[in-house]
Amino acid sequence: MKKASFLMIIGPLFLLGLFAFPLWNIMLGAPQYPEPLGMNIHISGIQGVSEFDLQNIDGLNHYIGMKTIPKPGEMWEFDIFPMVIIGMIALGVLIGLLGFFGKVGFKWFLGWFLLMSILGVLGMYDFNEWLTDYGSNLDPHAIIKVINEDGTPMTYKPPLFGNQKMLNFDVTSLPHTGAYMMFLGMTLTLVASYLGWKSKSSAEKQESKEAVAA
Amino acid sequence: MKKYTYLVLGFLGFAALLTSCGNGNQGKGSSGALNSSNAEKVYVAPGEHDEFYAFMSGGYSGNLTVYGLPSGRMFKEIPVFSQFPTSGYGYSEETKPMLNTSHGFVPWDDSHHPDISQTNGELDGRWIFINGNNTPRIARISLTTFETEEIIEVPNSAGNHSSSFVTENSEYVVAGTRFSVPIPQRDMPINEYKGNFQGALSFISVEPEHGQMDIKFQIIMPGFNYDLSHPGRGKSHGWFFFTTYNTEEASTLQEVNSSQNDKDFIAAINWKKVEEFVNNGGGTKMPANYAHNVYDESTHTATSTMKKEVLTVNPLDVPGAVFFLPTPKSPHGCDVDPSGEYIIGNGKLSADLTIHSFDNMIAAIEGKKFDGEAYGIPILKFEDVLAGTVKSGGLGPLHTEFDGKGNAYTTFFISSEVVKWKLGTWEVIDRKPTYYSVGHLMIPGGNSRKPFGKYVVALNKITKDRYLPVGPEMEHSAQIYDISGEKMELLYDFPTHGEPHYAAGIPAELLAPKSKKFYKLSENKHPYATLGANDAKVVREGKDVHIYMSTIRSHFTPDNIEGVKVGDKVYFHITNQEQDFDVPHGFAVIGANTSELLVMPGQTKTIIWEPKQVGVWPFYCTDFCSALHQEMQGYVRVSPASSNIEISWSLGD
């Protein structure tokens, strides 16, 4: 149980990586952009991969009537997400410490993992909603309006995950370092849950053996 | 029997046919195979980069062109001494001061010898220098922006030809006069040249960090023609060598009269000694008048300052600083090998090359073995300084470069060839024809301690029949040879722009990574910059109207302007708001008596427009900037001089 608790303390601390590294990254390459434009999505805001990338993406997007990329303060998520992450880190470390002193069991570890997973899925859902709005809620006075073959106006939602061709751009959307650290930290808490469960069940077996022996 | 004989003869004949056929085929076949492998050697696939940059002087274009090697593709023309309507250089208000001189605005020159800055005798790729020959000037070009940053006029000089070569640590860029003149200039009979005219050799210091040039001193030499020069390197660092002709000091029909002496001189200058002399207060300050023009990257503006004094040194005041090395037949090129030991005099009217030894020269100086003097300057004995002679069988040697592997390559103008020979043994290893009449040649780093001896580029004076004819006037041709093997191999011909007098090459990896992509708008300190579209405005100051205009894909702010009157002087100050690589905007307005402007991202440029006719006149973007480039346009309403319409401006109203 000591080993499990230790992992349960370490795991949530990996989420601190989200404050230093991007959660997600979207790159836009095109023949005329041999060095692709890119945005890094941090939990506290969106940054360009190179200094002027956001400005240049906005410059291109204005042709097709997309809104400008939100600045921190323009989206509630960038205020709330950091607080949620800090809260979850504190909660996870606390559970780990309590586990260490034998106050709580592996179910709490698992509980933290499940709560974090639900929050993660909600976060992804919210992110996808924003991408959809960003890519399809277009200015009716846009300079360039492209119509699909079926007659509907073309939308420009970047992919949530993976690669997609959009007009002349190849758009690639993938998790970044912050996300990988979060996944690693969450996996550690899952391992902690498993170890906790194993040590508990072996302790129970030991107990029952001892009981049998007695 | 008879029949048999015929048969045999027939067979022999057939065999001969076969053989000759075979030979013919073999010859063609092998040259075909050769050609295809040569094609591969110069083929740079789409999207791939060249191995070297080559900077070719433009000669009478006054500019410098940038090529890739081995492909021979031209990337850019850098305006230096000549107005360049393509970008507005020399036309825009910001760049006009670059062409200011003591003779006023001089919009052209004859650019000659580019040389890249060095550290420890090796190319460092910070700047490239080039001389203006006609109205003596030296320019410094940044190798991060590939733009001319500074031009300094050289006083007391005329025909600034033995220039602009840098010393081993870019301490100095050196400029020598080809034409001797009265110093100071004065009204005197031309036929009193002899003994009265003098030649100035200028040592221009280069500030180590930012490269700013300043004439540290001028050595006032006898009235010969100082043709070409090169610095000592390695053990001869601290010396500079100049070839001379017209030691006869003729002032007329020089074609004949300057070619009478069997030997002219290479002047060896111990500049370290002269530097020490002036640092200790030596030399004479002389009144002068010359322009110093500096372009500031943050204001995107050049300023011209007239300097009023120059420090001159009489070589006789610095004993042991200047010597003459007799060198046959009006030597042209003066080249120093990578070790610094050999000083090559390319005697342009002879068949042979003369090679002097630096060690021999020092020994002769120390032994005071002089063979007379010229105007008080000691002449060393030819035999004492001579290291060897290359008996080439060619005619008219002009210039020599080195491959760093112990070989030298010399151009022969008259016999139209490049000759490869070995340093030390002086034996000729190979010779290849050029098409035709080669002048300079260039090996990247070929005049430094560390040449990159893979290619040599021959810069030819005559092009006829090598390309599709384009009338009487055509561009000069360059030819690239592979010199990685024992024998040179001609790979490719390509035209250059203007007349390339010398070139400088450098490995691409030394320059490409630091090439600037655009200027930061946040660092733009131009007094008339429009840093955001909200700052756009039009201001009348009497008859002057200043338009603060911003450009971004794809509109001008403002694009409608009213209240301008006939007789006004309208300043269009255009700022490009883009912050992305390769998104310039151009600007042109109907009837402007000047060029367009090509404004790079983050930059501000200005042209003056003086409307002479009432009307509504359009302006537009000249650089295809986006899918909506054609829409990037606007109007200025010009009212009669007597009109009382107020200045107003708008966008999208």
Report chain A residues whose CB lies below 8 A from the CB of B627: 63, 144
- pTM for the predicted model, two decimal places: 0.90
Q: Give the residue carrying structure tokens 């290359």.
A: B390
State residue B34's pLDDT score: 57
Residue A208 in 3-state DSSP? helix
Residue in B closest to A51 by C-alpha: B579
| Whole-angstrom distance, CA of residue B451 vs CA of residue B334 | 17
- Superfamily of domain covering B521-650: Cupredoxins -  blue copper proteins (2.60.40.420)
**Which residues in chain B show pLDDT less than 70?**
1-36
Report chain A residues whose CB lies below 8 A from the CB of B579: 51-52, 55-56
Q: Give the residue carrying structure tokens 């709330």.
A: A80
Task: Provide the token pair at A129.
Answer: 């909603």
- Residues 6 or more apart whose Cβ sits within 8 Å of residue B555: B631, B632, B651
Q: Say whether A143 and B628 touch across the interface (CB within 8 A).
A: yes
| Whole-angstrom distance, CA of residue B56 vs CA of residue B76 | 11
How do the domains of chain A map onto residue ranges?
2-199
Option in A52, A143, A144 nearest B579 (CB) = A52
The interface predicted TM-score of the complex, written ipTM, equals 0.82
Cα B68 from chain centroid (whole Å): 16
Q: What is the pLDDT of residues B11-37, one digit of tens each?
A: 444 444 444 443 433 333 344 455 568
CA angle B35/B38/B44 to nearest 5° reads 130
Q: Say whether A63 and B580 touch across the interface (CB within 8 A).
A: no
A56 lies within 8 A of chain B by CB: yes
Report chain A residues whose CB lies below 8 A from the CB of B580: 52, 56, 59
Q: Say whether A144 and B627 touch across the interface (CB within 8 A).
A: yes
CA distance A186 to chain B (A): 40
Reading phi first (left if > 0) and then psi (alpha if -120 to 50, else beta), residue B207 is in beta
State residue A207's pLDDT score: 75
Report chain B residues whose CB lies below 8 A from the CB of A56: 579-580
Task: Provide the token pair at B529.
Answer: 């910059």
Q: What contacts 24+ positions apart, CB below 8 Å, involve A195-200?
A: A195/A1, A195/A3, A195/A4, A195/A7, A195/A106, A196/A1, A196/A4, A196/A5, A196/A8, A196/A99, A196/A105, A196/A106, A196/A109, A197/A106, A197/A110, A199/A1, A199/A3, A199/A4, A200/A1, A200/A105, A200/A106
Q: Residue-wise pLDDT tens for chain A (214 aa)?
A: 788 999 999 999 999 999 999 999 999 999 889 899 999 999 999 999 999 999 999 998 988 999 999 988 899 999 999 999 999 999 999 999 999 998 998 999 999 999 999 999 999 999 999 999 999 999 998 888 888 889 888 889 989 899 999 888 999 999 999 999 999 999 999 999 999 998 888 888 877 777 666 5
Residue B545 in 3-state DSSP? strand
Q: Say whether B628 and A52 touch across the interface (CB within 8 A).
A: no
How do the domains of chain B map onto residue ranges?
521-650
Q: Say whether A143 and B581 touch across the interface (CB within 8 A).
A: no
Residue B474 in 3-state DSSP? coil
A52 lies within 8 A of chain B by CB: yes
Q: Say whether B627 and A55 touch across the interface (CB within 8 A).
A: no
Residue A114 in 3-state DSSP? helix
Which of A56, A58, A168 to mutate to probe the B interface, most B CBs <10 Å?
Answer: A56
Which of A28, A52, A64, A168 to mutate to probe the B interface, most B CBs <10 Å?
Answer: A52
Task: Provide the token pair at B554.
Answer: 């794809």
Q: Which strand (E) or helix (H) includes residue A132?
A: helix A106-136
CA distance A141 to chain B (A): 14
**Cβ pairs A/B, distance under 8 A:** 16
Tell me if B570 sits within 8 A of B593, measured CB to CB.
no
Q: Say whether A51 and B628 touch across the interface (CB within 8 A).
A: no
CA distance B536 to chain A (A): 19
| Whole-angstrom distance, CA of residue B362 vs CA of residue B247 | 23
- Asked, as a colleague might, if the bond just before B472 is cis with ω within 30 of 0, I would say no
Task: Provide the token pair at B540.
Answer: 């009348």
Radius of gyration of chain B (CA): 29
Q: What is the pLDDT of residues B246-304, one digit of tens each?
A: 999 988 888 887 777 889 999 999 999 999 999 999 999 999 999 999 999 999 999 99
Type of residue at B620: Y
CB atoms within 10 A of CB B44: 15
Option in A52, A63, A144 nearest B580 (CB) = A52
Task: Provide the token pair at A44.
Answer: 């506290």
State residue B36's pLDDT score: 65
Q: What is the pLDDT of residues B520-567, one digit of tens each?
A: 999 999 999 999 989 999 999 999 999 999 999 989 999 999 999 999
Give CA separation, B133 vs B158, B211, B269, B536, in Å.
Answer: 8, 21, 22, 43
Q: Say whether A59 and B628 touch across the interface (CB within 8 A).
A: no
State residue A213's pLDDT score: 64
B2 burial (CB, 10 Å; 0-12 / 13-18 / 19+) is exposed
Interface of B with A in 298-337 (CB under 8 A): none
Option in A56, A63, A143 nearest B580 (CB) = A56
CA distance A52 to chain B (A): 6
Which of A28, A35, A53, A55 to mutate to probe the B interface, most B CBs <10 Å?
Answer: A55
Distance in angstroms between the alpha carbons of the first and the last residue of chain B? 110
